[in-house]
Structure 1
Amino acid sequence: MNTPLPASTDPQALSAVVFDWAGTILDFGSCAPMGAFVRLFEQFGIALTIEQARGPMGVAKWDHIQALGRLPEVAAQWQARHGHAFGDADVDRLYEVFTPMNAAAVADFADFIPGALEAVAAVRARGLKVGSTTGYNRPIMEVVTRLAAAAGYVPDNLVCAGDLAAGRPSPLMMWRCFADLGIWWPATVVKVDDTEVGIQEGLHAGTWTVGVAVSGNAMGLTLAEWNRLAPAEQQVRRSVAAARLEAAGAHYVVDSVAELLPVLDDIGRRLRGGERPQR
C-alpha cells in the first residue's frame, strides 16, 4: 500500500488557504483604508471621493497613493493647489502621513466579518494551512495583528506590502507564502480576497481564487449599511460587486468567507479529478 503524501506535497489535495485581511477576514466593507485615503488628501487640500479612494484598493499603499494622484481630477487639483505636477516625491510625503493615520484608524474597524473565525477554524480542522497577504505595510499590520490575535486569529504566516520588490497583482507575496508554509504545488492553494488585484495575485501565482463580493471593497458598505438595504437592492448590488471579481478572473465568488467551505469541497473534488486552476 502506498503511504499517503502530506497535504503540502500531494498535487491532488488542498494544502492551504491564503486570506486577505481587510474586507475578507475583518473590517466589513474595507472601510479603514478608504477613510484614511480621503482624510489624507483633504489634509493636502485635495477633495477625493469615496469612489475614487476605493479604486486601486488592494495594492500596496504607496502604489495606491500614486494611482490616486494620477487621476485627472486629482492631478488637476494638485497642480492648482501646490503649483507643480503630482510626482513620486509627493507620494513619499503623503505616504509618511498615511501610515500612522491608517494605523490609528484600523482599531475602529477591527471587528471580524461574521463567520470568519468559524471558517478559519474549519479550514484548520481539515488539516489545511492558513496563510495571509495584505496591501497594508508592516507598521499598520503590527496594529491589526495584535487586535486580531486578541480575538483568536493568528494565521500561519503574514506577507505585507513592502516586504518584497513588488506587491499585488504580482505573485511575489503568494510565492513567499508558499515558501513560508512549505507548499510545493500552487494548484493546491486557494486565495481568498475582496479586491480585483488580490484575485489577480492568486491567478498569477497559479492558485484557485475566491472573491468575496459583499463583505469587501467591491461592495464598500459597512455591515449595518448592508443589512439596511431591501433584499432587491442587495441583489442588485451583489450582482455588480460579483461581476467585478468575476471579470478579474475569480474562479468562485461568494458573499463572504462564511460561505467558503462548500467552495473548498468543490475545489477538492476538482483537484482529485485532475483539474487545475485556469487563468
Structure 2
Amino acid sequence: MRYQHPDRLQAAILDWAGTVVDFGSFAPTRIFVEAFAQFDIEISLEEARGPMGMGKWDHIRTLCDQPAVTERFMHRFARLPTDEDVTAIYERFMPLQIEKVGEHSAPIPGALEAVADLRERGLKIGTCSGYPQVVMQKVVELAAAAGYQPDHVVATDEVPKGRPSPAQALANVIALGLDDVAACVKVDDTEPGILEGRSAGMWTVALRFSGNFLGLSWAQFQALPAERLAAERERIDALFEDSRPHYLIDTLADLPPVVDAINQRLARGESPQGC
C-alpha cells in the first residue's frame, strides 16, 4: 500500500473565543481578573491575556508563576502559590465563567459567512477551545442560537493534555473521520493554538485582530486609524513569529482565499510539515 498525499483540504479546525465568537476574547480574560480578585490578588487584563489559549487550570498556574503575580501572592499570604491555590482559584473561576460567558458570545462579524463558504468548498468544521466541557456546553448552545453549528467540538478537559499539545486537534481528526492531518487547517488567535496545529501536522492560520493579541472590541477595532492598524499588524505578526503560523490574516472573514491557496499547494505536493 502506497501513501497518497492529499490534494485538498478536508477540514478546518477552529478555535472559539477570539476566532468565531467573542471579538477581542473578553469572556475568559475578564473572569480571570475577577477570580483572582476574590483572593485579594490584583491582576491586570493584560496579565490575564498572557497565557491565553491554554486550558484554564494551566492558565491560572502560569499566571501564578509569573514573578509579579507570585510577589503579590507572597505579600498577601506569605508563601508561594501551590497547586492547591491554583485549584481554589479555578473553582472560583468556573462558576463566574459559566455565568458570564453569554455576555461575550456574539459571532465575530464575517465569521458565519466564512464558515458557510468553507462548507461550500467541501470542508468539515471541527472546533476546540481552552474552555472545559461545562463551559463549552453553554458556548455551543449560544452559538447554535446565533446560527453556528460546527461538526465537532473538543473541550480542553476531554483530552489528556490541553494546548499547545496536539490532542484536541487530533481528536477532531478522529471524530470527523479525516484521512490525513495534512488535509486540515487549524485556525486560532493564540500562540498555544497555533502550536497545537503545528504539533498536529496541520496547516495553521493565525488571526491578528479578532482575538487576544489586539484585545479590542469590534467597535474599538473599527475606529482604529489606518496608521495604528498597520502598526498593530506589524506588532502582532512579530508576536506570532515563534509559533510559525503558515498564514496570518486579520479575522476569520479572510480565511476562504487562504483555503484556496492551501489547496493549490497541496495539489503541487506540498505539505504543512515541510514549511
Which residue number corresponds to residue 20 of structure 1?
Answer: 15
Among residues 222, 231, 236, which one is paired with 2:231 in the alignment?
236
Deviation digits for residues 212-256 of structure 1, max 9, x if unmatched?
Answer: 101011211111111222111111112211222233110000000
Conservation of the 8 A alpha-carbon contact between 1:213 and 1:256: yes
Q: Which amino acid aligns with 2:51?
A: P
- Which consecutive residues of structure 1, in runs of 5 or more, have no partner in the other structure? 1-8
SS at structure 1 position matched to 2:152: coil
Among residues 75, 89, 94, which one is paired with 2:89 in the alignment?
94
Q: Which amino acid aligns with 2:189?
A: D
> How many pairs does the alignment contain?
271
Q: After alignment, is 264-273 or 233-242 more displaced?
A: 233-242
Quote the offset at 1:10 in angstroms: 6.7
Conservation of the 8 A alpha-carbon contact between 1:15 and 1:188: yes
Which residue number corresponds to residue 107 of structure 1?
Answer: 102
Conservation of the 8 A alpha-carbon contact between 2:11 and 2:124: yes
Deviation digits for residues 39-58 of structure 1, max 9, x if unmatched?
Answer: 11111111101111111000
Q: How does 1:13-92 map to 2 (within 5 A)?
A: 13-92=8-87
1:183 aligns with 2:178: yes
- TM-score, scaled relative to structure 1: 0.95
SS at structure 1 position matched to 2:165: coil
Which residue number corresponds to residue 262 of structure 2?
Answer: 267
CA RMSD of superposed structures (Å): 1.2
Take 1:243 and 1:149, find their aligned partners in 2: how far apart are those partners? 35
Take 2:128 and 2:84, find their aligned partners in 1: how far apart are those partners? 27
Over 6 Å off, 4+ runs? none
Which residue number corresponds to residue 11 of structure 1?
Answer: 6
Which residue number corresponds to residue 224 of structure 1?
Answer: 219
Take 2:230 and 2:98, find their aligned partners in 1: how far apart are those partners? 33
Take 1:71 and 1:244, find their aligned partners in 2: how far apart are those partners? 19
SS at structure 2 position matched to 1:18: strand
Conservation of the 8 A alpha-carbon contact between 2:106 and 2:146: no
Conservation of the 8 A alpha-carbon contact between 1:246 and 1:253: no
Take 1:42 and 1:71, find their aligned partners in 2: how far apart are those partners? 16
Conservation of the 8 A alpha-carbon contact between 1:219 and 1:238: no
Quote the offset at 1:112 in angstroms: 0.8
Which residue number corresponds to residue 4 of structure 1?
Answer: none
SS at structure 1 position matched to 2:159: coil
Which residue number corresponds to residue 141 of structure 1?
Answer: 136
Take 2:10 and 2:117, find their aligned partners in 1: how far apart are those partners? 14
Which residue number corresponds to residue 161 of structure 1?
Answer: 156
Deviation digits for residues 95-138 of structure 1, max 9, x if unmatched?
Answer: 11101111222111111111100010111111110000100001
- Percent identical across equivalent pairs? 45
- TM-score, scaled relative to structure 2: 0.96
Take 2:218 and 2:87, find their aligned partners in 1: how far apart are those partners? 33
